[in-house]
């Protein structure tokens, strides 16, 4: 009779590239518990105590944050991601950047809004936080006008 050992992802999470790919795959799942389980696997691989210290958390807090069904705060997740030596990256679902179309929902109706050249330029300014905020506000105003 053949016996199998239990698969432990932590045994293979030995460098930052593998960790980044593992987390990226976990983020593609709609269930947020998958991402937290992936972070827990990485924490096991690196050592819970070492990760807790690097993230500025207590070891017990780390166990609670990564427990199945836990709902950790956003800042806790960010601390953990930075402590793991990776960063999160956001991109459009379809992979196309700069189409200029903003999809919004207003009063339960899906609306497609064409972003102006000015808002696209603002979103690509040196200060991305300010530019994207202005572009989002401008798109929101346009959405409100179309919805009315």
For residue 133, being part of any structural domain is answered with: yes
For residue 54, being part of any structural domain is answered with: yes
Confidence at residue 137, expressed as pLDDT on a 0 to 100 scale: 52
Same domain for 14 and 78, yes or no, is: yes
Q: What is the pLDDT of residues 73-95, one digit of tens each?
A: 999 999 999 998 888 887 777 65
Same domain for 71 and 18, yes or no, is: yes
Tally of CA atoms within 13 A in the half-sphere of 22 that contains its CB: 23
For residue 57, being part of any structural domain is answered with: yes
Same domain for 79 and 14, yes or no, is: yes
Mean pLDDT for all residues in the chain: 75
Model pTM score: 0.59
Domain hosting 17: range is 9-83
Per the structure, the count of domains in the chain is: 2
pLDDT over 80 at 111, yes or no: no
**Mean pLDDT, residues 22-46 taken together:** 91
């Amino acid at each position: 009779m053949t016996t199998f050992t239990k698969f432990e992802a932590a045994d293979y999470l030995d460098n930052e590239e593998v960790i980044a790919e593992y987390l990226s795959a976990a983020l593609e799942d709609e269930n947020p518990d998958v991402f937290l389980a992936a972070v827990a696997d990485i924490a096991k691989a690196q050592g819970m105590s070492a990760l807790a210290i690097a993230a500025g958390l207590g070891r017990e807090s780390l166990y609670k944050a990564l427990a199945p069904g836990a709902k950790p705060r956003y800042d806790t997740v960010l601390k953990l991601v930075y402590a793991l030596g990776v960063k999160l990256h956001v991109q459009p679902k379809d992979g196309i950047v700069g189409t200029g179309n903003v999809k919004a929902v207003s009063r339960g109706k899906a609306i497609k809004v064409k972003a102006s050249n000015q808002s696209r330029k603002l979103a690509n300014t040196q200060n991305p936080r300010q530019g994207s905020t202005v572009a989002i506000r401008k798109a929101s105003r346009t959405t409100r006008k179309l919805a009315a």
